[in-house]
Homo-oligomer: A and B are copies of this chain.
C-alpha cells in the first residue's frame, strides 16, 4: 500500500502536504481518476488544496514516469498510478468503468515489419471495450 508515495519519496521528490495527499488519493489498483476527481478526494483530506496544484502535481508525476495518463475518449484524462507493471485497459462502453488487465503475449510481436512504415516501435497500448457485468445486466 501507498506504493506510489514510497516511490516518489525514493526519488528524492520534495514532499509537501499537497503532494502527499494527491499521491495517497491516487494510490491503489484499478484506480483511474480524473484530475477533478483527484481534487475532490484531496479536498476531503486537505481542504485548502487548489485545482492548479492538483493539475501541476499530476503532470509532474506523469513526467517522472510514476503515473500514466489514460485518454479514454471521454472528456477528461484519467490518471493511473500503476506505472511499473505493464498492463492494458478494459473499458465499459456505457458507464466508463475501467479495469486493468495484463497482456498474455508480447503485443509488439503482432506488428510485422512490413506494417511498420519504417517506424521504430517501442510501446503498445491496448484498450478492450465492452460492457461491464452491471451494465450488461441492465
Seen from chain A, the residues whose Cβ lies within 8 Å of a Cβ on chain B are 69, 71-73, 90, 92-93, 99, 101-105, 107-108, 110-112, 115-133, 136
Contact A90 B121 (CB under 8 A): yes
Find the B residue at minimum CB distance from A99: B117
Q: How many copies does the complex hold?
A: 2
Given contacts A119-B130, A124-B126, A124-B129, contact A110 B111 (CB under 8 A): no
- With known contacts A71-B71, A124-B127, A119–B103 Cβ distance under 8 A: no
Q: Which 6 A-B pairs have the closest CB atoms?
A: A121-B130, A118-B133, A123-B129, A125-B127, A71-B71, A119-B130
Known: A90-B117, A99-B117. A122 touches B112 (CB 8 A): no
Q: What residues of chain B lie closer than 8 Å to A112, measured between beta carbons?
A: 104
- Which residue of the partner chain, among B73, B101, B126, B131, contacts A120 with CB atoms under 8 Å? B131
Q: A90-B121, A107-B107, A126-B127 are in contact. List 6 more A-B contacts (CB 8 A).
A: A71-B71, A90-B117, A104-B115, A118-B132, A119-B136, A122-B129
